[in-house]
Amino acid sequence: MTVPDLEHSRAGVVDPPVPRKRGGVRRTRWLDRAGWYEPRDAGSRSTTRQAEALNLALSSPPTTHRGLILGTDRLSGQLVCHDPFIAYDDKLVSAPNVAVIGDVGKGKSSLLKTWGTLRQLMLAGRRVVVLDKKTQAGLGEYTLLARAVGAPSIRFTVDGAGSRLNLLDPVISLGQGDQEGASGRPTGQMMLLRAVLAEALGREVGEREGKALRVALLAATADARERHRVPVIRDVVHHLINPVVSAAEDIGITVHELREWGFDPAFALERMIEEDLAGLVDTETSADVQLDHPSGLVHFDISNLPIEGPALRIVMTVINTWQTNMLAQRSRKLMQTVNIVEEGWHVAEGALGKVFQRNTKLARGLGLATLAGFHHVSDLPAGSAARSLMQEAETVFIFGQSLRSDALACVELYDLPAGTEDTIMGLGRGTFLAKIGSEAPLLVQHVRSPAEIRLTETDEAMTGKRQAG
């Protein structure tokens, strides 16, 4: 050991022996410490696409690639994909229904028109049925979209100039006796008549009234069949006021007593078809009301029906019932249908709401997904049909809520993590929380193509500029 080495050893510092380079050349100590003598590996040529694999900090995708694009994850920037039918097949949800909640102007309609309608039609090849209540330039908001895909708009108006959907359409009938209470079967004419009559009377239908109504319905159906035509509500009113003698004898009462049982229902129904429902559901179904348009889109424009009174709720429920029974007859074709309800709060109350809710519960057997839009949880009374529709949805998109009470109601209803209400209140236009099944909520930025933007803007009345298309 040399003298300098001994000095270092005595000082408590022992350096490793300095290796000699080949050829007997001695390394310089300070260059050796700096790594001067270490070999350098030559770099390898690559591309940006290949080098992505070297980024080990890349997060996993927020969703699978299976489904239709919703938008991008605000945290990772990756695509977010979802489809209620595919999610059901993947066991992520147990029901295909979707609730979209948020303040006015936050982007609910844009999501329903793009992801819920256009992409379902164009990319998934499904049938889409729209109940369009929102008005744009005097027509339903979906009119421009319907024109773009070549679909007609089926308009209902209170002046009798629009389309009609017969409350007693044979499609709605469940067969002899109309056993609407049968488990797993859609709503029939009798249940629908009871719901409409409850709306007209302002109360539930009594037992004797219900019996008189059933007798009148059976008589009206049989009479219309003999005349080779379709029964309408006026036929039921006629047989309530003029019951068949044999029907009364079968019950063990007189014709006068049976007529007494049916007087109030008859007059209430007569008033409804003369006033609130005139030209809407009191005559044979129009030829334009059908589910088989080649475009796949069925656009029911109900924007001209008044919010006040029963007409809007009745027409919405009759459309839903007609569609549900139509799909039940065609269930063997295994076709999937998306039902868009832009203003879900209209089915919040009464017997009609219960009918709507009952039909919705048959979604799995019919291949039907209902996508309903709502403003606030607090708008809907506890126990109402619309509140149940919102609560039972396993796919939920929550847009911005300006009031803390509304944001907290969403957190409570969907069991979101504490503090999520602050996130909901801070959501900008087009940004929403996506809660899918039991998965953690995702913060999503909705993405639209230029064509979709043109078809989904709703500012014509405010800007004074008509959209192209």
Residue 341 and residue 375 in one domain: yes
Tell me what pLDDT residue 4 has. 47
Residue 106: name the closest of 454, 466, 426, 440 by CA.
426
Residue 145 and residue 211 in one domain: no
Domain of residue 334 covers 68-164+289-463
Residue 435 and residue 387 in one domain: yes
Q: Answer yes or no: is 267 within a domain.
A: yes
Residue 125 and residue 199 in one domain: no
Q: Answer yes or no: is 336 within a domain.
A: yes
Tell me what pLDDT residue 9 has. 45
Provide the domain count of the chain. 3
Residue 370 and residue 346 in one domain: yes
Residue 429 and residue 326 in one domain: yes
What is the DSSP pairing of strand 337-341 with strand 127-132? Answer: parallel
Q: Answer yes or no: is 184 within a domain.
A: no
Q: Answer yes or no: is 59 within a domain.
A: no
Tell me what pLDDT residue 146 has. 95
Residue 459 and residue 322 in one domain: yes
Three-state secondary structure call for residue 103: coil
Cα 373 from Cα 128, distance rounded (Å):
15
Q: What is the DSSP letter of 148?
A: H
Residue 9 and residue 125 in one domain: no
**Residue 296's CATH number:** 3.40.50.300
Structure tokens at 88: 């059901």
Tell me what pLDDT residue 172 has. 87
In angstroms, how far is the first alpha carbon of the chain from the final one? 93
Residue 339 and residue 448 in one domain: yes
| Proportion of the chain in helix, strand, coil states, percent, rounded to 5 | 40, 15, 45
Q: Answer yes or no: is 226 within a domain.
A: yes
Tell me what pLDDT residue 264 has. 94
Residue 392 and residue 304 in one domain: yes
Q: Answer yes or no: is 258 within a domain.
A: yes
- Looking at residue 202, its amino acid is G
Cα-based angle 13, 15, 17 (whole degrees, multiple of 5): 155
Tell me what pLDDT residue 183 has. 43
| Domain endpoint, select from 228, 246, 274 | 274
Residue 200 and residue 318 in one domain: no
Given a cut of 70, the residues of the chain with pLDDT beneath it are 1-25, 40-42, 55-59, 174-186, 347-350, 458-469
Tell me what pLDDT residue 45 has. 80
CB neighbour burial string for 315-353, b if at least 16 within 10 angstroms, e if fewer: bbbbbbbbbbbbbbeeeeeebbbbbbbbbbbbbbbbbbb
Structure tokens at 234: 């006026």
Q: What is the 3-state secondary structure (H, E, C) of 224-238?
A: HHHCCCCCCHHHHHH
